[in-house]
Amino acid sequence: MARWLMVLPPVLFAGLAGLFYAGMYRDNPGQLQSVFVGRAAPVLPTTALPGITGLTDADLRTGEVTVVNFWATWCPPCRVEHPVLLQMAADGVRVAGVNIMDDDAKAVAYLAEEGNPFIGVATDPNGRNRVEWGVTAPPETFIVGGDGTVLFRFVGPLIGTDYETRFVPELEKALAAEG
């Protein structure tokens, strides 16, 4: 019995080390996979910010590609990416927002001050719907096809090299397929 106890730790360590080693060499090791890519977008919250157009599931099934951005006013990276969302909207991209675990009054004031890039905003005050979408923390952004199918998930702010090399090509591909 004592012999097995001496062999067990090195065997467990070797197995764990092998698992970590394999994980480092997989495709896109920094990318979190979404179980929703290729499937219908999960249900959106039915609540909206006061005085701001709400967002419905039908808004994701208009025949046009929609970028769905999960954000909050208390999230510094969300504030950093906001000009990119405004530019997307100015360029004619449909941008939808889901404000998560936030104060409605602060969110309304933020959009009034910084500009509102969204065709509609749903609210998820308790974070329930973010879990249904698989959102770990804001900001997270999804590209949704015109039929409501999730095409791509991007974790983190829409800025920098990662945004330019991963998100932009996926958005361009989705928009080209639409037109």
- Give the tens place of pLDDT for each residue, 51-93: 999 999 999 999 999 999 999 999 999 999 999 999 999 999 9
> Among 108, 97, 80, 88, which Cα is nearest to 44's?
97
Q: What mean pLDDT comes out for the span 4-20? A: 63
Q: How far apart are the first and last CA of the chain?
A: 69
40/135 Cα distance (integer angstroms): 16
List, in sequence order, every residue forming a beta bridge with 124; answer none if it has no partner.
100
- Measuring CA to CA, how many Å separate 169 from each of 7, 42, 107, 117, 176? 50, 24, 30, 21, 10
What is residue 128's predicted lDDT score, i.e. its pLDDT?
Answer: 87
Residues contacting residue 89 through CB under 8 Å, at least 6 positions apart:
95, 117, 118
143/162 Cα distance (integer angstroms): 16
pLDDT at 34 over 60: no
pLDDT band of residue 24 (cuts 50, 70, 90) is low
pLDDT band of residue 25 (cuts 50, 70, 90) is low
What is residue 10's predicted lDDT score, i.e. its pLDDT?
Answer: 67
What is residue 14's predicted lDDT score, i.e. its pLDDT?
Answer: 64
pLDDT at 117 over 80: yes
- Measuring CA to CA, how many Å separate 66 from each of 19, 28, 97, 159, 176? 37, 24, 10, 18, 13
- In the block, residue with structure tokens 């104060």: 103
Domain 33-178 has CATH 3.40.30.10: yes
Contact 168, 89 (CB under 8 A): no
**Domain residue extents for the chain:** 33-178
pLDDT band of residue 29 (cuts 50, 70, 90) is very low
139/145 Cα distance (integer angstroms): 20
Supply the pTM of this predicted model: 0.81
Contact 135, 70 (CB under 8 A): yes
Contact 121, 100 (CB under 8 A): no
What is residue 133's predicted lDDT score, i.e. its pLDDT?
Answer: 93
Contact 126, 103 (CB under 8 A): no
